[in-house]
Chain A
Amino acid sequence: MVFQLFATTADNFNATNNQTSAICDASFFNSTWSREFPGRVDYSLCPDTWVALCLTFLLIYLSTIFSSGLGVIWKRNSGHIQARSPIYLFFTLFSAFIFIFGMTMRFIVGRKIFPCGLVTIFFFTFPQAVTLPTIFRLMRTFLMHKINLQKTKLFDVDVNKGQVRVDQSQSALSETMSKTELKLVDSDISSEMSLTNVELNEGNEDGDVSNSKIEFKNLSDVKKEMRKLNIYNFLISYKFITVVYILAFVFGILLWVLIGVVEEVVYQKDPTKGRIFLLEGGILLFEHGCGLSTNTTIIIGVESIAYIILELVFFILCLMADRDSWGIKKESLALIFFQIVAAVLFIVCGSINVIKNLVDYYVPYGFLIWGYMLLEVIVCVSLPVLYSIGKEKKHQESGDTGFERLLKNKKTFDIVLDFARRSYCTESVLCWRDIERYKKSGKGNRKKIALHIVEAYLSLEAPLELNMPKIQERKQELSAIIENGSLELDLFNGIQEHCLHDMIDLMDRLSSANKEISEILRNSK
């Protein structure tokens, strides 16, 4: 139906291919708006106007993607950005950029000048540019949901079934797990648990939580589920989406070349019949600009179908994902709505003569699509960056890092340390700082700092001994590791967490005593 309407307008256009146009509005020829004097119709195009909306839009658009891109890099480690994956966000920025830049430039330069070949390239890659970010966003939301489900299954403790200790499959498991962003790895469990002060009276040898034995399903089941997990992980990997993006764009360009050649061959045979696909240009024509014909629209429509189907499939799958802690599902669904609205309006506008032949020269109705793409960038990239900035102000990624912010800032650290000194509890504060130094140290210094931490804070009767259970055992364990020379940066993470935990009381007192600190802590909640 829509295409029929299109066809009618296109026919009208063809019929009025002469100097005095019945289609083009008179204001294009003799008003001050017009770029041409005297105006004329070339290549079935009316004279352009001077209205600078495109330039303004392009500037707004460029500053949005530029600042959002910087924001993504800056906040790449924050929860909101990580959950969406910085690479995905960059692809979203990039894919809209090509299209919008190309199309707005056409209006800025002038439709008659902007090479026809370029316009067609942009149109042939348009379906990818619009749908791929959405498809991948929906796909990722769905797959992350599946991965979480799968992992929960993997760790399910099945009391009735024959249990196999995880030891055999552990290395394979952690390898798989490390590829995913969510931390459920065995070692993480143990480090988490060792913070929880659980020590037993009985059986001290195997009572330590770091050897905690959590039991799992049969090994064969585990393997099967791991294979699934591997597939999901591959599908959301950077490699996969990069390859798909490249292939999709290459495919669009190949299609452009192919159809261009066909058009050229047919045209060469009988130039009097005009172009099949374009009004008075050629797909491969770069000398001047051109307008699009209905046939072009149909080709792009057909090319889009596959993408629209994919989008639909993932849209439905995405509805199944149950948890949406980062609002990704919400924003994807909202954008789908706007995408449909924009597409429908675009087609409708394209079929209304007044819009196509008059309004379009002042305010191009392509804005419907560009506007949608700008909205997508704002909703999916800029806003998450803003959330993470806002969230950082409120509280940093995990747990009560309001404390950490106080400690990481030199000025507030000094306030904390001074207060701790007057309360006789500098050990946690100093130990936290030294572990921070350890984490930033180069290879050469690391051992020295590590030994200092163990000696100063983890030795019984040391002046700065921490308030910590089983301190001697911890010291032995850590000393052995340090002697071995395996100085991982996370070696003292558990101890540092403990220090933060011990500071709860101190920080509470400090925030009652110091307005400035209280303000910072309140804002970080």
Chain B
Amino acid sequence: MGNIVVSPHDKEGQHHMMATPTSNNPNGGSAATAKNKSEITVLLLGAGESGKSTLFKQVQFFHGVGITHDQERIELIEIVRLNVLENAKNLVAATQHLNIPIEQPENRETAKLIINSLNTNDLEDPSWSKRLYSLWKDAGIQKAYENREKFQLYDSTEYLFENLDRICSDKYVPTVVDVIRTRTKTIGITDMKFDVGDGKQLRLVDVGGQRNERRKWIHFFNTVDAVVFLTSLSEFDLNLYEDNGYWRVKESLRVFNEVVNNALFYKVPFVLLFNKRDLFEKKIATKSFSKYFSGFNEAEEKNPVACIEYMTKLFLNEITEHPLDTVSVKTLSAIDHDNSKQVFEEVKQFIMTQQHRE
């Protein structure tokens, strides 16, 4: 399941051009080819919800393309609101499963509307800001939220509920942060090109992370100059979206193993990014980390550095083929603009130096 096998017959990826906006060629164009030396192709890989697209959006933003423009963000109003509704629906449904009643009668009323009839257009009405916020603050919903590892819920939930007064207004224009925080499941493969100086272009490729999506990655394996593998630090207590009995960390390790040891990547610089550091630090403050890792010293479980060190070892142990000196490990908080910018700059430098060495 989910094995990544490179088929020798698959040449499509080599000549593949995407019709997504690039910094200098809005329609993807066909002038540049993947083999063009002035172009560096970087793949963002990782299991579902590891933050690939979030980083992708941040990179767009530093380079002043895509979501930087108001017009692009206005088109995302629907998606932000859909996120709000999905979060609310998931929470309400969770209260039923976990048998935690929503306490206030007016919030139960709101919950019913959410499940049955509410749609994104309704959220133009500011009265929904109050109603949804009151629902969010309901003791029952909060209790379900505390138990969110038991069901699938987006990381953005709290952020969106705290910003309802802006979102539920007919004048709402999503901010860059809103867009960064919004969860949209990526399907397929998408790319974007940026000028990185010296007449070079960086082509960043974002992919979907769920099991069925990973089979598509091979289309890009041949043309790659560097791989950035993301994994979420905060997933240690979560199960997979695709398969609810399956621990996310186990899946990430497996995918990492398959990618990093892939023969096509032996000579390619490889970056392992431990993402969602912010969420992770909050999470270990209240949850036991050692409960999930028998080899970890319980006394250290509130120390994020020790936990991350442990995780790093766990991942690096998977590397059997790839030369270790071309692997770099970093932590990241992709929703944080400055941190993403800094980390991405480091990643870029690392990749360029590695290329230079060749």
Contacts and interface: CB of A to CB of B under 8 A. Distances in A.
Interface residues of B, number: 62
B120 A399 contact: yes
Given A197-B241, A424-B189, A508-B184, A465 B18 contact: no
B277 interface: no
Contacts of B89: 192-193, 196, 198
Contacts of A199: 151-152, 244
Given A189-B115, A209-B93, A422-B16, A198 B79 contact: no
13 contacts: A157-B102, A182-B117, A188-B116, A192-B89, A200-B244, A212-B96, A214-B96, A422-B17, A425-B208, A471-B242, A513-B27, A514-B19, A522-B75
A150 interface: no
B188 interface: yes
B187 A506 contact: yes
B185 A213 contact: no
Contact of A505 (B16, B90, B93, B186): B186
A504 B242 contact: no
B103 to A, nearest CB: 8
B85 to A, nearest CB: 9
B72 A424 contact: no
A504 B109 contact: no
B116 A196 contact: no
Given A196-B89, A470-B243, 15 more contacts: A182-B117, A193-B93, A193-B115, A196-B86, A198-B89, A198-B151, A198-B152, A200-B98, A200-B151, A399-B119, A422-B19, A423-B18, A424-B188, A504-B79, A508-B76
A212 B185 CA distance: 26
Interface in B17-32: 17-21, 26-28
Interface string A477-519: 0000000000000000000000000111110111111100010
Interface string B78-102: 1100100010011001101110011
Contact of B189 (A213, A423, A502): A423
Contacts of B17: 422
A135 interface: no
Nearest to A212: B96
B248 to A, nearest CB: 11
Interface string A194-207: 00111111101001
Contacts of B184: 504-505, 508
B66 interface: yes
B200 interface: no
B342 interface: no
A143 to B, nearest CB: 19
Nearest to A398: B119
A422 B75 CA distance: 22
Nearest to B121: A395
Interface in A398-452: 398-400, 419-420, 422-425, 427-428
A181 B74 CA distance: 34
Contact of A200 (B97, B108, B109, B241): B97
A152 interface: yes
A195 to B, nearest CB: 8
B291 interface: no
Contacts of A425: 187-189, 208, 216
Contact of A400 (B112, B120, B150, B212): B120
Contact of B208 (A183, A399, A467): A467
A461 interface: yes
Nearest to B240: A469
Given A200-B150, A467-B212, A505 B187 contact: yes
B79 A189 contact: no
B18 A422 contact: yes
